[in-house]
Amino acid sequence: MGSEVSKQIQRRKAVSVEKQMLFDLNENCGETFPGCDYRPTDRKNWMASLGPKDLHINNIVWPGTHNSATDRIGIPCISRPFAQCQTLSVYQQLVLGTRVLDIRVNENNHVCHGILLTYNIDVVINDVKKFLFETTSEVIILEIRTEYGHRDPPEFEDYLEEKLGMYLIHQDDYVFGKTIAELLPKRIICVWKPRNSAQPKPGSPFWSAEYLKDNWIDTDLPSTKFDSNLKYLSDQAPVSSRNFFYRVENTVTAQPDNPVVCVRPVTGRIHGYARLFINRCFAEGCANRLQVFSTDFIGGDFVDACVGLTHARVHGEC
């Protein structure tokens, strides 16, 4: 019993130390970077505002959400705090400026996070279609994966093609060098990551797992995650010379050996340091590698930081 208490004290101390490290880094380095002062006047249509003819797919900094469809997961006040990573619906996230969605499904076509379930995938698809109907030039990366511990939903590719076919951008390496204008009216890059079925093939309406990569660091220590994100990003090729999307997640994850296991207070340890991360990317010489940047509980300032950097790239400021 005494050793367990001692362990908990050490874990909480480690978290406290790392939170202070990020706070001090932010105080010393600040949050400035090319484009940091830019604020889109219309987040819902920010790609259209920057100009579809000027926006190359590989040059966009895509604001994304982690576990995007968890706004109504589980039971309120009971199981929801342990799995909810977003409070906004998928439609609300897209209107706010989110352009990369991370959706987990089970064999029954329900969205899930681990063992906890929420609404049918139809809710997500309808939100996406509503947003696309209301806009003209916004492109979305829609990642759908079979959640760990579950089986693939049956005939899922047929379902997706029936619902989204008119919007789907087919798997093709040349897409990365194209502008949004060259892809329109197609507007969804759908990355489908099954667990049991075969991966989508070249030319398919769906993109395989190799086109959206990341290095998942499973930790609740904010400075450790921040530094690891920088390291792994630095290992990537510049966006101009790679034919896949690379994602950095500005999140930390609750651990079973720490008494604080609800998502919001845990991920809050790193949540406010997105602009600091972009600042450090420039300091470390890896800003030209940043592409998909995701977060829990997305807000307007996170979107503005990504759009601001995209604006700077379009105008040759970095």
For the chain, give the percent of residues with pLDDT over 90: 94
Angle 218-219-222 (CA atoms, 0-180°, nearest 5)? 135
Which among 151, 248, 135, 245 is positioned nearest to 190, based on CA atoms?
245
pLDDT tens digits along 33-47: 999 999 999 999 999
What DSSP assignment string belongs to 124-172? HHHHHHHHHHH-SS--EEEEEEEPTTSPPPTTHHHHHHHHHGGGBPPP-
Whether pLDDT at 1 is above 60: no
Residue 193 clears pLDDT 90, i.e. is over it: yes
Q: What three-state secondary structure class fits 74?
A: coil
Which of 166, 153, 165, 167 is closest to 112 using CA atoms?
A: 153
pLDDT digits (tens, 9 = 90+) for 199-219: 999 999 999 999 999 999 999
In the chain, the percentage of residues whose pLDDT exceeds 70 is 98
Alpha-helical segments (H) within the chain: 2-29, 46-50, 90-96, 121-134, 156-164, 180-183, 222-234, 263-271, 274-283, 300-314
Position 10 confidence tier, pLDDT thresholds 50, 70, 90: confident
Give the residue-averaged pLDDT of 9-30: 94
Residue 148: count of CB within 10 angstroms of its CB:
9
pTM: 0.96
pLDDT tens-place string over residues 234-254: 999 999 999 999 999 999 999
Mean of pLDDT over the chain: 96
Element containing residue 73 per DSSP (H, E):
none
* Residue 260, pLDDT score: 84
Distance between CA 205 and CA 91 in Å, rounded?
A: 22
pLDDT beyond 60 at 72: yes
